[in-house]
Structure 1
Amino acid sequence: MVMGKRLAMKSPLLGINKLWAARKGLNSLLLFLIAASALAIVAAICRQGAAVTESSLSREGSFGARRKCEPSSGRWVFDNQSYPLYPERRCSFMSDQLACEKFGRKDLRYQNWRWQPHDCSLPRFNGTRMMERIKGKRLAFVGDSLNRGQWISMLCLLETSAGLAKSPMIFSGSLTTVRFKEYNASVEFHWSPLLVESNSDDPINHRLPERIVRLESIEKHAQHWTNADILIFNSYLWWRRDPKMKVIWGSFESEEKEYEEIAMLTSFKMALKTWAAWLHLHVDPVKTQVFFVTLSPTHQSSREWDLDSEGNCYNQTDPINKEGYWGRGSDRAMMRAVQEAVDQLKESKPELSIAIIDITQLSEYRKDGHPSIYRKQWEPLTPQQLLTPTSFADCIHWCLPGVPDVWNELLYAALFPSPL
């Protein structure tokens, strides 16, 4: 505009200048209209782009996005860039039962597999964020040695990811506690393989020829869980040794006690009712979140995934790649029993935060993830065993780092359901 005025004042051809000025005004109007149209187009594109982005997140976004994610449905992806989540040797809490690299395993591919759900992605475990979540609180794992493996995995993840100072394990009977002073937080494990009271409750001397459960009694264990802020339970493996479970009515010390043999599944359901009744009465729904971890599969017979094979998990170096594979070591009826118990508890106490973490299907594929022969042997091996490694291969527990780290990623995703 300033330049146009100067030209008009200097030019002797006033008519031409007026025509030029009129034309310039028209051009300005056209430019304004073009600009407005362009802005409208850009806005439309942005809206469309936002819709596409939102749709993509809903379809393939992180855990907790709009479309319901089924984290147990997916596949294992080899990823040696971002996995393992910690080196075995850097975890001061590592158990000799799970330290496969320490005890001679050379093929370390079992450490490099990442679980990828079909419809979303699990958030990467953030130890600092997790420690902030449990600051001034108690995180307690309750169950058998599989749950203890998940507890050790959690300790390794927290220690390495959050850069925590080394903390001692404090043993008190069946309860083991690690307290991180920086956050005034404790991460605990309580040995309770059958949830209810049993003759196998000693955390060390529990290998007995006959298992006996007291189905109506849980307080012996539950006194250690009272006031915990996050509770993670499991209980399957110790029920499955025999088709029937020996049940005691009355206390173990009573002279008037009676015994009865009850079908395993029936006794398991009765124990779950006792467990649920305790939660209903004693858990503060404002304070405590409860999780139940599903069955951890075993890989005792290689014929289950390869009809021409004779053996077990020994020398297995890759996951099973058949989607939906389900071994004979996993009992769907027991998983349904847990689901029913949780559903009934939700109905009777809807304000309670309780959820099931399904680890079974994803763990079914990992025949390569067990310690096999690469672990500390608590008893000397016989010459015959040494000649037949499959005879003493551990195809029940899991190497660390490994599969239990993914279980804790699922727990982490459940605790932080919305993406950052």
Structure 2
Amino acid sequence: MEKKKRMVGIWDVKHMFESSIIIFFVIGTLATTAVYYVNSDEQSPPVSHSAYVGDSLDGCDLFSGKWVHDNHSYPLYKELQCPYIPGEFSCGHYGRTDFKYQQWRWQPHGCNLPRFDDKKVLERLRGKRVIFVGDSVNRNQWLSMVCMLQSVIPLGLKKMQKTANVSLFTFKAFEYDVSIDFYWAPLLVESNADHPSNHKRNDRVINIDSIEKHARNWVNADILVFNSYLWWGTPTLKILYGSLADSKKYKIVGNHDGYEMVLAKWSNWLTTHINHRKTQSYFMSMTATHRRGADWGMQDNENCLNETEPVLKDNFWESGSDFKMMRILESSLDKLKARGVNVQLVNITQLTQYRKDAHPSIHRLFYSTLKAKQLSNPNGYADCTHWCLPGVPDTWNELLLAYILQRLE
């Protein structure tokens, strides 16, 4: 069967990041047949999730459950029908030919997730601004949300754009006056990783006193969705007291201490700058990175590459998850709640543990040419951090929307 060329509109995210120019090509309907649519902390996993087990929707813990194969209801959209999926997450376009990973439904124990209804969501979000703030996994989720909603919006009544000189990207649904934005701030405060594409660094440098540079772009949101986890994986980081240009005054701290300091700074800003009667705030928990095949019975040098099924063993945890980071986040949100600020934790950690099958691995666009030595060892460059679209991030948004829509009633 001849592989179909991808001729729907494609948003080249990398090019947009680097040139601040958005290119959209929308070409008509196709008639050919498609082949695709498409440090370990050495700790035990947390037994409970602090206050958050009982703080789920209508008394049901949406975050405890299992994956059920459901090829009737999922995927919620087709890869080829969403022109905004970038090469990092477009697994079918880059050679993946098994699609069962798109067909799993998260089934909470004792209740059901509300059925996703794109028109209902857009109607309830009418006139509102949603901002996802964080790293590339949050960007992964933002693009999932855009894909889940954009298909019912006619051409000419939707637009993707970048704000000049700011790491802000906006999807606008004009018919509903809805903005769904993404703001790149992987460490929440100002850091040496703030450029949305040119941020490859072996070290981590943050300006602990500078959150306003980013946060001034969030103040008029109706819904804020934060994440920050992956960029805290280095053992230490440098805390500056002064501008990034003047790095003479600093101290080196451990990653956990740095995370706690930044969350305290973020909490203070959130308490004093956000009208919480108007704005809903959420924090997405850490996600699994399936880099060690021995966790699920494979060889230790294997990872998510070629995995096509979830782990179906109850309470599975992969070894790369940093549970101390999770506890620091939970403690920070508890302290905020004691101050009268409710930031809902959307605890997607457990449900991502099982999904070793849903990463791009080698089926993605790589922005630098892979060398022969790399190509000879696909496990070495497989992406086991991000997630294919359609896929697991769609479930994160179903969970998120369950809270958002209930609070908008």
Q: TM-score, normalised by structure 2?
A: 0.83
- 2:361 alignment partner in structure 1: 372
Instruction: Kindly state the Cα deviation for residue 353 of structure 1 after the two structures are TM-superposed.
Output: 3.9
2:98 corresponds in structure 1 to 107
Which has the larger Rg? Answer: 1
Counterpart residue number, 1:361: 350
Q: Pick from 88, 91, 94: which aligns with 1:97?
A: 88
Q: Secondary structure at the match of 2:314?
A: coil
Post-superposition shift, 1:416? 2.7
Report 1:318-357 matches (<5 A). 318-348=309-339, 350=340, 352-357=341-346
Deviates more, 1:164-173 or 1:183-192: 164-173
Question: For the residues of structure 2 that align with 1:369 and 1:260, how far apart are their CA atoms?
Answer: 39
Q: Is the 8 A contact 1:123 1:419 kept in 2?
A: no
Shift of the 325–103 alpha-carbon distance from structure 1 to 2, 3 Å rule, reads same
Listed as ranges, the matches of 1:134-149 within 5 Å are 134-149=125-140
| In structure 2, C-alpha distance between the alignment counterparts of 1:248 and 1:399, rounded to whole Å | 36
Whether contact under 8 Å (1:245, 1:264) holds in the other structure is: yes
Q: How does 1:7-406 map to 2 (within 5 A)?
A: 64-65=57-58, 68-160=59-151, 165-172=157-164, 173-240=166-233, 242-254=234-246, 257-306=248-297, 308=299, 310-348=301-339, 350=340, 352-406=341-395
* CA drift at 1:132: 1.9
What residue ranges of structure 2 are gaps of 5+ in the alignment?
A: 1-55
Instruction: Quote how far apart the aligned CAs of 1:210 are.
Output: 1.9
Distance 1:411 1:297 in 2: 18
Cα separation, partners in 2 of 1:418 and 1:219, compared to 1, 3 Å: closer
Contact 1:131–1:162 (Cα < 8 Å) also in 2 = no
CA-to-aligned-CA distance 1:262-299 (integer Å, 9 cap, x gap): 01101100000000000000000121000000001100
In the aligned structure 1, how far is the partner of 2:389 from the partner of 2:347? 19
- Is the contact made by 1:126 and 1:161 (CA closer than 8 Å) also made in structure 2? no
Residue of structure 2 in register with 1:28 after alignment: none
Partners of 2:158 and 2:174 within 8 A in 1: no
Shift, 1:338, TM fit: 1.1
CA distance in 2, matches of 1:220, 1:247: 17
Identity of aligned residues (%): 45
Q: 1:323 and 1:418, CA in 2 relative to 1: closer, same or farther beyond 3 A?
A: farther
Provide the C-alpha distance between the structure 1 equivalents of 2:257 and 2:136, rounded to a whole number of angstroms.
23
Q: Deviations along 1:200-220, whole A, 9 cap, x unmatched?
A: 101111112322011222001
Gaps of 5+ in 1: 1-62
Q: Is the alpha carbon distance of 1:235 and 1:98 closer, same or farther for their aligned partners in structure 2, counting shifts above 3 Å?
A: same
Deviation larger for 291-300 or 178-187: 178-187
Query: Aligned partner of 1:304: which letter?
Result: D
C-alpha distance 162-118 of structure 1, shift in aligned 2 (>3 A): farther
Q: Output the aligned Cα RMSD.
A: 1.8
CA contact (8 A) 2:121 2:405 kept: no
Distance 1:254 1:236 in 2: 26
Q: Matches of 1:374 and 1:84 in 2, distance apart?
A: 18
How many residues were matched structurally?
352
Kept in 1: contact 2:142–2:181 (CA 8 A)? yes
2:142 aligned partner, one-letter code:
W
Which residue identity does 1:258 align to in structure 2? K
User: How much has 1:417 moved relative to structure 2?
Assistant: 3.6
Q: Secondary structure at the match of 2:159?
A: coil
Contact 1:198 1:214 in 2 (8 A): yes
CA–CA distance in structure 2, aligned partners of residues 72 and 64 of structure 1: 10
Structure 2 counterpart SS, 1:167: strand
Q: What amino acid is aligned across from residue 182 of structure 1 in structure 2?
A: E
Amino acid across the alignment from 1:92 = P
Separation in structure 2 between the aligned mates of residue 222 and residue 104 of structure 1, nearest angstrom: 39
After superposition, the C-alpha distances for 1:127-156 in whole angstroms (9 at most, x for unaligned) are 212212221121000000000000000000
In 1: Cα distance, 2:279 partner to 2:249 partner: 36
Question: What TM-score comes out, normalization by structure 1 length?
Answer: 0.81
Would the aligned equivalents of 2:294 and 2:300 in 1 still touch at CA under 8 Å?
Answer: yes
CA–CA separation in structure 2 for the residues paired with 1:121 and 1:410: 11
The residue aligned with 1:412 is 401
- Counterpart of 2:315 in structure 1: which amino acid? G
